Amino acid sequence: MLGYTAHLRRDLARWRERGWISAEQEERMAADAATHSGFSAGSVLAILGAVLLCLAIVTFVAANWEALPRIVRLGILFGTLWLSYALAYGLFRTGRDQFGHAMLLIGGAVFGASIMLIAQTYHISGNPADAVLLWAAGVFLAAVLMLSTASLIFAILLLAVWLVIGETEGPSIPMWQFAIAWGLCAAAVWRQNSLLALHALMLVLLVALFREFMRETLAPGTVCLFGFAVYVLAGGRRGLTGDARAEHLFPTLATYGALVCLGDVMLLQVGEPLVSVPAASVAMLAWAGLAAALLAVAGAYRSRSFPPIVVAGFAVFAVLLRLVLPPLLAPLNDMTTFDILAGVLILVGSLWLIADGGRRGIRSISAAGYAFFMAELFYIYFKTFGGLLETALFYLLAGLLLIAMSAVFVVSERRKAQRIPA
Amino acid sequence: MTTRPQRFVALSLIAIALIQSAALAKIVYDRVALLRAGKEVVLKLVPRDPRDPFKGYYSSLNYDISQLDRRLIAGGRPDFSVGDTAYVVLRTGPEGHAVPASLYPSMPVEMAGDVVARGKISWVSPDRINLTYGIEEYYLPQMEAARLDNIPVDSIRIVAAAGADGQLAIKRLLVDGEPAYEEPPF
C-alpha cells in the first residue's frame, strides 16, 4: 500500500502542475490517501512482536519442564491460554485493537504449544499431522470469530505445515481433505477481504499443487487449465458479484491464475524427463485448444456481445476439442513438438498477460508476463537451438515482431490520450 | 473491530478460549481414562540404537511387538498395506512380558488373560510387518534420562494401559522389574 501512496503523490503533483487541482486540494487528497492506506507502523510492530513471543512459546516445548508434576503443567497450559484471551479482551475493550489482534495471535500459539506439550506429558506419539490440523482449526476459529487477519494468515500457513508434515512423517494428506480445509479458509479470506491473507492462501495452494505435480497424479496440463480458469474467473466482468471485495481481491487472484497457468507449462517444459513427453504433448495441444475456447467464452461473456446460445456453443466446442484432438494429433508426438508447443504457448501467453495487465491497469499481471517472457527466452537460448546462427535468427525475428506490436500499442495509446482534454 | 459491540467481543473471546480448552481437555481426559481403566500389559523393548536407549530428552522406543512375523496374521486375510489398522492379541509369556499371539484386521473377541493392542501398519516387507502403537515416544526429565542412559535395553520394560478399543498408553517404566519412573495421571 505504501507504493500506492507514493504513486498517488506523483500523480497529484502532475495534476497540480496542469492546474486541475490546487495545492491545498493536493495536500488534502494525499493526507486522506495516507490515512486510508491501511499501513500502520504500530500494528505491524505489534504483530511482529507477537510473532516473536509465539516463537518463544513454541520453543518452550523443548525446555526442561518435565520436572513439574503433570497437574502443574496442565494448570500452566490452561492458565496461559485463558490469560492470553483475557488480555486480548482488555486490549480490545480499551480500543487498542492492533495489540488485541497480536494477543489473539499469541493465544493461537499457546493453543498449539499446549497440544504438543500435552502429547509430550502423556507420551502420545500419534500422527503429528492430526495435531497440526487441530491447531489450525483452533486458530481458524479465533480468526473467524474476531475477524482477525493475522490469525487467519496463521491458520492458512498452518495448513501448509499440515501438508508438509503429512508428506515427511506419516500418511500423506489426501487432496480432498486439503480442499475442504482450504475452501473454508478461502471463504474466510473473502469475508475478511484481506489481500495479505489471499497471498497466504494462494501460496499454500501452490504448495499443494506442487505436491500433486511432483507425484504426477494429474494429467499434464490440468494445473495449467486450472490456473487459466482462475484467471478468466477473476478477470471477469467488473461488478460481476456486485461486491467491492471482488474489485479488491480479484486482480491479485488473476495474477496467481496467470502464474499457475504459465508456470505449469514451464515446469512441464523444463522438467521434461519427469513426465512422459508424448502424452504431455497431446494433452498440451488439447488443453491449449480448450483454453482458447474458454478465452472466447470469457471474451463473449465480458463484452456481452454474444447471446447465451453462442457462449454455450463455445463451451461445447471446447469439450469436443479436448475429446477429439488427442487421437488426431497422436502422430505429432515427440520431444521437439512438445518443446515448440510449450514454447509457443508460453510466449503467446506472456505477451497476452503483458497486454491484458496494461489494459486493466493491473501491474502484477504485466510483471508476471514479462517474467515468463524472459524466462522462456532464456530457456530457448540454452535448450532448443543448437547453432548460434539459428539462435540469432530467432531473436531477430522475435525482436522485430515485438517492436511491430509495440508500435501498434503506442499508436492506440496515443489516440486514447488525445481523447482526454488537457 | 471498533464498530462491533463490546459484548460480542467478550462472548467471541470466551467461545474461543472455551472451545480450545475443550479440545485440549478431551485429549487429557481420554488419556487419563485410559491410564486409569485400561488393562495393564508389560512390553519388552528391543534396541534400535544399541548404545543409548534414552537419548537426550526423549527416546523413540522400539518394542518387540513393533515387528511381527507375517505368519501371525489370523485367518485367510492375505495381506495388510501401509496405513491399515491392525489388532494384535498379546499374551503374557513365561518371561513376564507380552508376546504377540496373532494379528487381525478388525477387533477380535478377547480371551480371558489376553490383551488386544491396536496399531497402524508403518511398513511391510515380504516376511515382516511393522506397526506403530502411538507409544513410541517417551519423554523424561534430563536427569532421569542421563541416569537411564547406561541401563541395558534388555532390562527395561514399559507398562502400558490398553483400552477396550485396543488403544495403548504408556503408564510406567520398569528396570529389572522395579518401577523406575512413574507419574500419576494428573
Q: Which residues 52-81 of B are in CB contact (within 8 Å) with A?
A: 57-58, 60
Per-residue pLDDT tens digits for B11-38? 999 999 999 999 999 999 999 999 888 8
DSSP assignment of B119-172, as one string?
EEEEEE-SSEEEEE-S--EEE--HHHHHHHTTS-GGGEEEEEEE-TTS-EEEEE
**A120 neighbourhood in chain B, CB within 8 Å:** 58, 137, 139
> Which of A123, A135, A139, A151 is best to mutate for the B interface (most B CBs within 10 A)?
A123
Q: Which residues 128-147 of B are in CB contact (within 8 Å) with A?
A: 132, 134-144
Question: Helices (H) and strands (E) in chain A — how many of each?
Answer: 16, 0
Q: How far apart are CA A375 and CA A381, in angstroms?
A: 10
Q: Taking the CA of residue A141 as centre, how many other CA atoms within 13 Å lie in the half-sphere pointing to its CB? A: 20
What is the average per-residue pLDDT within B153-157? 81
Question: By the 8 A CB rule, do A139 and A111 touch?
Answer: yes
Question: By the 8 A CB rule, do A314 and A274 touch?
Answer: no
Which pLDDT score, from 0 to 100, does residue A352 have? 83
Which pLDDT score, from 0 to 100, does residue B54 have? 45
CB contact under 8 A, B141 and A64: yes
Per-residue pLDDT tens digits for A200-259? 999 999 999 888 877 777 777 778 888 887 887 776 545 455 577 777 888 888 889 889
**B20 neighbourhood in chain A, CB within 8 Å:** 81, 107, 111, 138, 141-142
CB contact under 8 A, B21 and A81: yes
Which pLDDT score, from 0 to 100, does residue B49 have? 54
Is residue B112 scored above 50 in pLDDT?
Answer: yes
- Partner-chain residue, chosen from A81, A86, A126, that has the shortest CB–CB distance to B20: A81
Which pLDDT score, from 0 to 100, does residue A107 have? 92
Q: How far apart are CA A328 and CA A273, in angstroms?
A: 24
DSSP assignment of A232-265, as one string?
HHHTS-TTSSS-HHHHHHHHHHHHHHHHHHHHHH
Which pLDDT score, from 0 to 100, does residue A386 have? 61
CB contact under 8 A, B12 and A115: no
Residues 6 or more apart whose CB falls under 8 angstroms from that of A227 comprise A256, A257, A258, A259, A260, A261, A262, A263, A264
The alpha-carbon radius of gyration of chain B (Å, integer) is: 20
Whole-model pTM: value is: 0.76
Q: How far apart are CA A17 and CA A42, in angstroms?
A: 35
- Partner-chain residue, chosen from B6, B16, B169, that has the shortest CB–CB distance to A145: B16
**pLDDT higher at B39 or A37:** B39
Which pLDDT score, from 0 to 100, does residue B57 have? 47
**A145 neighbourhood in chain B, CB within 8 Å:** 12-13, 15-16
Question: By the 8 A CB rule, do A231 and A298 touch?
Answer: no
Q: How far apart are CA A123 and CA B128, in angstroms?
A: 26
CA–CA min distance A252, chain B (Å): 25
B123 touches chain A (CB under 8 A): no
**Secondary structure class of B117 (helix, strand, coil):** strand
DSSP B109: P
Residues of A with CB under 8 A from a CB of B: 62, 64, 66-67, 69-71, 74, 77-78, 81-82, 85-86, 88-89, 92-93, 95, 97, 100-101, 107, 111, 114-115, 118-126, 134, 137-138, 141-142, 145-147, 171
Question: By the 8 A CB rule, do A188 and A144 touch?
Answer: yes
Q: How far apart are CA B50 and CA A354, in angstroms?
A: 63
**B140 neighbourhood in chain A, CB within 8 Å:** 66
DSSP bridge partners of B159: B42, B172
Q: How far apart are CA B145 and CA B153, in angstroms?
A: 13
For A36-61, letters b (16+ CB in 10 Å) and e give eeeeeeebeebbeebbebbeebeebe
Low-confidence ranges of chain A (pLDDT < 70): 1-3, 36-41, 58-67, 235-242, 272-281, 296-311, 314, 322, 325-326, 328-335, 383-387, 412, 416-417, 419-422
Show the cell assigned to B56.
Answer: 537426550
> Which of B16, B136, B148 is best to mutate for the A interface (most A CBs within 10 A)?
B16
Q: How far apart are CA B175 and CA B140, in angstroms?
A: 15
Which pLDDT score, from 0 to 100, does residue A387 have? 67
Question: What burial class does residue A332 get, using C-beta atoms within 10 Å of its C-beta: 0-12 exposed, 13-18 middle, 19+ buried?
Answer: middle
- Partner-chain residue, chosen from A70, A120, A125, that has the shortest CB–CB distance to B186: A70
**A71 neighbourhood in chain B, CB within 8 Å:** 186
Grade residue B50 by pLDDT with cuts at 50, 70 and 90. very low
CA–CA min distance B148, chain A (Å): 15
Edge-to-edge strands, sheet with B178-182: B39-44, B156-162, B168-175, B178-182
Task: Give the end-to-end CA distance of chain A in Å, rounded to a whole number.
Answer: 29
Grade residue B55 by pLDDT with cuts at 50, 70 and 90. very low
Which pLDDT score, from 0 to 100, does residue B59 have? 67
Residue type, A381: Y
CB contact under 8 A, A66 and B137: no
Show the cell assigned to A365.
Answer: 499481471
Residues 6 or more apart whose CB falls under 8 angstroms from that of A361 comprise none
Which pLDDT score, from 0 to 100, does residue A152 have? 96
Which pLDDT score, from 0 to 100, does residue A198 have? 94
Residues 6 or more apart whose CB falls under 8 angstroms from that of A331 comprise none
Q: How far apart are CA B85 and CA B153, in angstroms?
A: 28
Q: How far apart are CA A135 and CA A158, in angstroms?
A: 8
B173 touches chain A (CB under 8 A): no
Residue B40, phi then psi, degrees to nearest 5: -85, 140
Q: How far apart are CA A261 and CA A275, in angstroms?
A: 17
